[in-house]
């Protein structure tokens, strides 16, 4: 792996000292938010992890190398370049490496690189999933397959609310991915705490999550876990209003024939406009909330000295 992975000094020291590390994706920087909020949020998330006794490992591809741990200049570059930085998922990784290009890692590719680096906890905003209308389009995020095969626990505010959440949960069930609701019995819908859908199990403490991680992987049950962490109540959006905004954005995307990798950035950007910036504020808060929980889980997992 030395040919491909470059660790920041902070991450390398944490690995050497056996300290808890939490992975972070870079698509949320380049494609998930506008500049400068994207870079500011990324730095704030890293500060939040450090404040909660975990080392941040923001991950991206720069000049064909897998960077595990970014400095402020690299985060700022990704934020400024934005959509000029390609989104890199599993299928794109070997191409980006061979062609020595840049790339922003998705949930799927961040999980892959985290696993290669020995990092077991990854905090993000929301995972990708089954898109609305997927029964005819077959538009299903690679994030779900990665959760089925890669041994990393992903902390998120559920799946992005623009998706078909019911089918997303069905897909995860079929592929044996535990969906753990953190102090909730209901699967969160990104901007809101409710979706009307149930999680597999409600978990009350980071220690319980860590114990489930250890048991799963010690049993040889490969694949990740999804820890669904609802946005704090005071930051969630009004359910009816956000659903109207999502429906309008989806309709506009269909009229413009926007598909594939372009669909999620378009929808998130349009929802931000329709909500007059409220969705961006909620997005930032839920990411910070997931970072805090990710740090707690990483610390708990480190304490139990797993043999997996």
Other CB atoms closer than 10 Å to residue 3's CB: what's the count?
A: 7
Please identify which of the residues 15, 25, 146, 216 carries the catalytic annotation: 25
DSSP 50-100: HHTT-EEEEEEEETTEEEES--HHHHHHHHHHGGGSPEE-GGGHHHHHHTT
Please identify which of the residues 15, 67, 87, 160 carries the catalytic annotation: 160
The reply to whether 25 belongs to the active site is: yes
Q: Do 105 and 60 contact (CB within 8 A), yes or no?
A: yes
Q: Do 6 and 66 contact (CB within 8 A), yes or no?
A: yes
The reply to whether 255 belongs to the active site is: no
Q: What are phi and psi of 165, to 5 degrees?
A: -70, -35
CA separation for the pair 158, 90 (Å, rounded): 21
Map residue 181 onto helix, strand or coil: strand
CA separation for the pair 15, 125 (Å, rounded): 25
Other CB atoms closer than 10 Å to residue 215's CB: what's the count?
A: 12
Q: Write out the H or E segment, with its range, that includes residue 206.
A: helix 206-218
Active-site residues, by number, are 25, 160
């Amino acid at each position: 792996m030395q040919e491909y992975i470059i660790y920041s000094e902070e991450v390398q020291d944490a690995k050497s000292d056996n300290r808890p590390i939490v992975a972070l994706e870079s698509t949320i920087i380049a494609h998930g938010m506008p500049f400068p909020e994207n870079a500011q949020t990324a730095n704030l998330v890293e500060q939040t992890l450090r404040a909660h006794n975990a080392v941040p490992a923001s991950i991206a591809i720069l000049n064909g190398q897998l960077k595990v741990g970014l400095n402020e200049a690299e985060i700022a570059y990704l934020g400024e370049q934005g959509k000029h930085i390609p989104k890199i998922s599993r299928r794109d990784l070997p191409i980006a490496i061979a062609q020595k290009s840049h790339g922003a890692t998705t949930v799927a590719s961040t999980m892959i690189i985290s696993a290669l680096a020995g990092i077991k906890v990854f905090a993000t905003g929301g995972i990708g999933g089954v898109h609305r209308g997927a029964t005819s389009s077959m538009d299903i995020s690679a994030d779900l397959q990665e959760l089925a095969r890669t041994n990393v626990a992903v902390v998120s505010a559920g799946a992005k609310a623009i998706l078909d959440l019911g089918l997303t949960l069905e897909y995860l069930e079929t592929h044996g991915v535990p969906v753990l609701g953190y102090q909730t019995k209901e699967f969160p819908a990104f901007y809101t705490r409710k979706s009307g859908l149930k999680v597999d199990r409600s978990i009350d403490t980071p220690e319980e999550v860590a114990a489930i991680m250890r048991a799963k992987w010690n049993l040889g049950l490969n694949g990740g876990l999804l820890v669904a962490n609802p946005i704090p109540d005071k930051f969630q959006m009004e359910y009816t209003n956000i659903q109207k905004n999502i429906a309008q954005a989806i309709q506009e995307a269909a009229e413009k024939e926007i598909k594939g990798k372009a669909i999620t950035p378009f929808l998130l950007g349009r929802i931000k406009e329709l909500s007059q910036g409220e969705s961006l504020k909620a997005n930032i808060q839920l990411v910070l909330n997931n970072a805090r929980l990710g740090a707690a889980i990483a610390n708990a997992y480190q304490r139990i000295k797993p043999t997996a």
